[in-house]
Each structure stands twice: as structure tokens, then as C-alpha cells.
Structure 1
Amino acid sequence: MTLAILCSGQGPQHPNMFALTGNAPEAADLFAHAAALLGGQDPREMIQTDTNAAVHQNRVGQILCTVQALAAAATLRAAWPRRLIIAGYSVGEVAAWGVAGLVEATVALDLVARRAEAMDAASAVGDGLLFIRGLSRNTVDALCKHHNAAVAIVNPGDAYILGGAGEALDALAADAKGMGAARIVRVAVNVASHTARLAAASVEFRKVLDETPIKRRPNMGVRLFSGIDGTSMLDIPAGLDKLAAQISHTVQWAACLEGCMEAGASGFLELGPGRALAEMAGSTYPRIPARGIEDFRSVNGARSWLAEFG
């Protein structure tokens, strides 16, 4: 059997996000490294004590979400089945490269810090993201054109993340409500990720990747998917180009999930924080089990579920 590992993006940070990983000895070095990147603040303490605004700052949020994915992978790696498919949502794609073994886990944390810094430098004050579900792609495209916004992420089931200036997103949301959109929510991210507004960040991050030690192939039995086209990553230099371009290009998450299914996924596990990706996978492919690590009350419970995949 083949398990699809889904690495979460930023936005769903919450006080209990490290409940299963925070005390895992396999993850201790990762939390220490993340603390160094956060100015000495332990992420496990930070998520409990800092204000909501602080943990959703772009750089902080990217580090928190990435350390969770990498900590979960380190904790569960001994229980992985022999065949894995790995895909990452937004910043989760950097974590996915770490989970796949293409970069060391601490290097992946360094990369997301540099990635966030490049994004912040390229971003305008007030930029952000908006979630819309229930309108056709043609309608969403027309709204984006009218309000100078862009489709940042394509999710399954006519669900989209849109990026742009804050005032433009507010006006777009009002129009979308009048058109009967089923759900409209501002995302807790303060940059217009995956839009052309961050083109300069893609260029800068590609330079960072050129300086980074990257392995020539993923771990044995692992297939890694690219976010911007949903295809299996077979060529490392081309994959690095896509990883950098993803900052300023639309993430085709629906295509990633479809690619996982075509590659033979028999189950999905989201590493967190949150379980939005597991819910998307489960609703799109209801015959395939889809769990989030936050579904389990203990690490042993998660390991027992993984044992079903052989």
C-alpha cells in the first residue's frame, strides 16, 4: 500500500499544534533549531503564550508550520510504509522536500526562514489572502480581473485562495457574497502568496536554493509532487525552479491530490497544523482514508494506524 503524506501550509496555527510532537525525543533538535530562528523563543512555548497576531506573522508562521511537519515526520518515520507519496501545500512544499529526504530537516527550516524574509521584502503592506468557495472558475477569474487580484491556490470543489491588496480583497469578497458564494473567509496570512505580486521573492529564493545542499534524489520509495503543476518531481534542477516559482505562481492543489491518486495512494496523512488538507482529500476521494495527525490522541495511535499500510 502507498501512503500520501500531506504537509500543511500556514494559517491554522493553534495552541495545541505540537500536542503529539512537542515532547518527542526524535524532534528535540528540530525544536531547538526552530527556537534559534525565532530569536531564542521555543516554538512550543511561543504558540501557547504569544498573541494570535504574533504567531500568524509570515516568517513566524512559516517556521512554526514547517517545524510541525518535520517533527511529525521524525517522530513517525520508523512507522512509514515502504512507499510514500509526498506533497506540500504552500510553504508545506519546502517541508515536503525535507520529509522526502532531499534536504536535511534543519536546512529546510533555514530555507523557510529565508523564503519568508524574501516574501516580506517583496510584499506590500496590507496584502493578504481570501478563501472563496462555491463560484465557478470563470466567475472567480472575472472577479480577480475586476479587483486586481489573482488566484493563489486552486483547491478541489470550486474552492480558491485569492491574493491581492487588502482593500481589493474586501471589495472582491462583497461582490462574491452578492453572487452567492457558499463561503468567504480572510486567511490568516499577511502576504499575497502565490501571485505575481511576489515575483521578486521567487527570484531571490531561487538564489538561496542555489546555495543550498540538495541531494540528487528523494529517499528510496518516495515520490514528491510539485505544487504549481501537480506533477511528480523527477528532475532536481527543474524541481528547484518550480519550488522557487511557487512563491509567485498559482498552486494547483487539486491537481496534486489527483496526482497522488493516480500514483496509487491508498490513504492520506496530513502532518499539521490543522486538518484542512485531510478534509479536502477525504471529501474529494471519500473511499480513501484521510487522517490528520491531530486526529490521534497519541503517537502510538498514529503509528498503529500507519501499520495498516504495511
Structure 2
Amino acid sequence: MTKTVWLFPGQGSQAVGMGADLKDLPAAQAKLARADEILGWSVLDVCRGEESQLARTLYTQPCLYAIASILVDALAEGNLKPDFVAGHSLGEYVALYAAGVFDFESGLRLVKRRAELMDTAEGGKMVALLGFDREKLQDFIDKTDGVVLANDNSDGQAVISGTPEAVDAVVASVKTKKAVALNVSGAFHSPLMAEAAQEFAALLEPIPFNDAAIPVLSNVDPTPCTEGAQLKERLVKQMTGSVRWREIMAKLPELGVEKAVEIGPGQVLAGLLKRGYSAIARENISSASDVAKVL
């Protein structure tokens, strides 16, 4: 059997029209209806609406979670199951759902509150960097108060996060092929999210986390884990901790993974994997029609 990992993208992968054909899946209709009740708005309506609304954190995260979780359900109904799961930032919540750590509604409620906290965050800045000297970047980060490596995506792609002054200072000091300021108001995955993280941890505390049926590679710790309590602890740390995606990718060949299936819109994670680990076969499932093809 081919050893497989399911990967779940995070914010930035969304696209207008995503999930349009999920309404054709009988099993999806009940979950979409329940999602609309919990959120107070329609996932599919937002997904086929204005790009500006879908791109807002408040809506992006619940939409991505709902759509990817429904795709997971459809694959599971076809008796497909991976050997490992991992998700980038918001995608980690779908990974935990896919592994049976919590149910759909519990995950959606967590994502809803996470999105609200992040949507109202202020005073921070995030910049994506492409093509840089990793050692020099880390050196400047270490020397500059108020900035951290938020998303360590690959050898040539990263996101720094922190106060606007600190982020600008690092960008001015490090030679890059490209530096792009992200359209966010907060310094996500940095210590500046500590207050929001504390509130979120209190919300997480009473929610039961089952032991995972599938090992999960977490953002803050890329080692496979199935223990529910440990997975919850890792999730608490995620809001202020770095997304260690480069290390997650490096772990896959060590685990004998031969195939990666990116579940959700776009092929961001497959693209990162292709550049660094092309020997791992890649597949994308973003719609009901894609599910039909693999079943």
C-alpha cells in the first residue's frame, strides 16, 4: 500500500466559487445547513459572493474549514484513509477533524472564534519573503525585537510577523527576490497574539480532544502524534507559535510517505512540496467531482 498524507491548506488558498458542487453531495447538505446555523451566515453564499468578503479572516477560515471537512467526509465514505495528516495554520483544524480528534461542530465553533479573534487583531504586520539567505534572515530576526519567523514554509519562502517597525527593519536589512506585505491587521503566529491566544486557550480547555485515529503533524511540532491532550496543547501554542511547514515537509520522506493529497482549494501546499520533494506524488481534491474521480 502507498503510504499517504492528507494536507490541508490555510488562509490564502480561498477562491470565489470554491465548494460550489458540494451541495450535490447528500451527506454535505446537513453539514452545510448546520454550519450556517452556527455561523449565522451561509458558507456557500459567501463562497460565491464578493472576493473582498471571502478574503476577510472572519469568513475565510470558517469557509475553508467547512468545505475541506465535507471533502474529508466524502473521501471517508469511500473508505479512503491516509497514514498521516497535517494542515497549514487554519488547515490544522481540518487535520484534527480528519483524524477524529473532535467532531465537525466543535471544530467549526473553535474556528469561528479563532477567526473573530484574528479579525479584530490590531497593531501588527506580516510580510512574505521569497528568495533569501536563511541564515542572514534568522540573524536579523534574532537581533530585532518585536519580529519573528511566523511561517517557515520552505527553503525559499517565509513570512515574518511582528510590529510594523520591526518587520520593516528586517525587510530593509535582508536581500530578497520579493517581499510582499500581507493584507492582515494583526501579527499572526507571533507573541503579539498572546492576549488572543489566552482567550482562545480558555475556550479550548473544556472541549474534549479524542486520541487521533491518524497521526497528526502539528504546526508547532512536526513529529507525528495521536495523544489528544498533547494535540490540544500544540493547538493552544499555534496562535503565537511559528508554522514549521518546512520541517513538516522534511519529515514526510523520513516517514516513508510516497503520496500527498492536498484537500481544499488551490495547490499551494502541493507547489511547496513539488519544489522541495518532487519524488512524493501529489494530488489535489477541491470539489465533489474530484472526489468522484478517486472513488
- Whether these two folds match at TM > 0.5 is yes
> Is the counterpart of residue 137 in structure 1 residue 129 in structure 2?
no
Can you list the C-alpha shifts for 1:102-149, whole angstroms capped at 9, x where unaligned?
10012111111122233345x224x34221121122322344444732
SS at match of 2:235: helix
> Is the counterpart of residue 209 in structure 1 residue 204 in structure 2?
yes
Partners in 2 of 1:189 and 1:31 — Cα distance? Answer: 27
Amino acid at match of 2:84: I
Aligned to 1:35: 36
Kept in 2, the 8 Å contact 1:132–1:159? The answer is: yes
Query: 1:69 deviation in Å?
Result: 1.4
Kept in 2, the 8 Å contact 1:11–1:188? The answer is: no
Partners in 2 of 1:228 and 1:57 — Cα distance? Answer: 25
Kept in 2, the 8 Å contact 1:70–1:98? The answer is: yes
Partners in 2 of 1:32 and 1:129 — Cα distance? Answer: 35
- List aligned pairs for 1:52-63, cutoff 5 A: 52=52, 54-63=53-62
Amino acid at match of 1:239: L
Match of 2:277 among 268, 271, 285: 285
Query: Residues 20 and 271 of structure 1: is their aligned pair in 2 closer, same or farther, counting only changes over 3 Å?
Result: farther
Can you list the C-alpha shifts for 1:78-99, whole angstroms capped at 9, x where unaligned?
3354542100100111111111
* Root mean square deviation, CA, Å: 2.4
Partners in 1 of 2:94 and 2:286 — Cα distance? Answer: 18
Partners in 2 of 1:120 and 1:192 — Cα distance? Answer: 11
Query: Residues 50 and 89 of structure 1: is their aligned pair in 2 closer, same or farther, counting only changes over 3 Å?
Result: same
Partners in 1 of 2:168 and 2:31 — Cα distance? Answer: 38
Partners in 2 of 1:59 and 1:82 — Cα distance? Answer: 30
Partners in 1 of 2:109 and 2:184 — Cα distance? Answer: 20
Query: 1:214 deviation in Å?
Result: 2.0
Partners in 1 of 2:149 and 2:60 — Cα distance? Answer: 21
- List aligned pairs for 1:74-113, cutoff 5 A: 74-113=73-112
Aligned to 1:250: 242
SS at match of 1:66: helix
Over the matched positions of the two proteins, sequence identity in percent amounts to 25
Can you list the C-alpha shifts for 1:158-215, whole angstroms capped at 9, x where unaligned?
3111112456545654554xx2x12322334443211111112222222222111222
Partners in 1 of 2:183 and 2:202 — Cα distance? Answer: 28
Can you list the C-alpha shifts for 1:17-54, whole angstroms capped at 9, x where unaligned?
21453432222223223323432x321121222341x2
Kept in 1, the 8 Å contact 2:129–2:180? The answer is: yes
Amino acid at match of 2:42: D
- List aligned pairs for 1:1-310, cutoff 5 A: 1-39=2-40, 41-52=41-52, 54-120=53-119, 123-125=121-123, 127-144=124-141, 145-146=143-144, 148-166=146-164, 169=167, 172-173=170-171, 175-176=173-174, 179=175, 181-215=176-210, 217-219=211-213, 222-294=214-286, 298-301=290-293, 303-304=294-295
Amino acid at match of 1:154: D
Kept in 1, the 8 Å contact 2:219–2:243? The answer is: yes
Query: 1:68 deviation in Å?
Result: 1.8
TM norm structure 1: 0.85
TM norm structure 2: 0.89
SS at match of 1:129: strand
Kept in 1, the 8 Å contact 2:71–2:287? The answer is: no
Amino acid at match of 2:48: Q
Kept in 1, the 8 Å contact 2:6–2:82? The answer is: no
Aligned length: 293
Partners in 2 of 1:128 and 1:23 — Cα distance? Answer: 40
Amino acid at match of 1:224: V
Query: Residues 283 and 115 of structure 1: is their aligned pair in 2 closer, same or farther, counting only changes over 3 Å?
Result: same
Aligned to 1:308: none
